[in-house]
Structure 1
């Protein structure tokens, strides 16, 4: 009887230890985690949107259910505290949809604000993938999601699994991996076209 109870205890302890150790790595970046001379310029350029996760599909993921693929471009806007984010979104019906946002760089923080959405906060998270960005977007009572971007359109499974683990640790068990079945839409120098 004692051996059975002890075996059960060790089994449960092992599971809890694994979960706690795995979730311990899903950490938000802090200002001292980044080289302030390079932030945010190290994120300039093109990024492919690989996956999104949330605790439920609607509304945090609903906008993405008709997306086949997306490529983003991040650059400094008119001032160093403003980032221009352009996107070309290929929908599952083949259309190309251009989008534009302005991210606001917060002083002494790695968090970003979104122009026109004062309640939206975007946080950067550490990633096992060296050429990836993991963002968490939150907007009270509207959006709470984790987003995975990569410098390349395809990622090794270990990096997808790392993202899934981070999402699960954050209580986000609904995952959308973008099919990427169609050609990516192209940016034009003055905007985006289909």
Structure 2
């Protein structure tokens, strides 16, 4: 009987090892599937603004990225390793917002004129998209904060503008969803900013 039991041990022990190895492989495969791929989105370069009175002057524009991040990084998609799942823009963020700011000031009537040019600086204090970590990604948030400073011969005006949004989702958002969301939020903030009576008064429009 002892020999038979010994044979049973020799027969079943390899099966237990195989099952353990298979379980480990399946667990590793499941975890590796939770690392989300990077996404790159395009930002709108223009948003329609309400025109005002002509300022009869030009505007010198400067955008400064105050974040300690890569210039094209705007957040992460969450998941198991969020540091490997960034959300990026197609160019450096300050370059994109510089073009956008120039377009907005042209819409407001800035260009050639007899008055001395004023200076408009925009500081990117926060531009952060992030989703939850873990196997299931179903909560994402977006926060943008921009500081606008107008400098002219009469003095200086500065004011921060911020938007913060969060969403609960069934699955991790695809690239098109994130692109639409970020652009809608940025457009909303931009329109609020340039409809602000204090900023328009400082700009002279």
TM-score by length of 1: 0.28
The answer to which structure has the higher strand fraction is: 1
- Of structures 1 and 2, the one scoring higher in RCO (CA 8 A, sep 6+) is 1
Who wins on radius of gyration, i.e. which is larger? 2
TM norm structure 2: 0.27
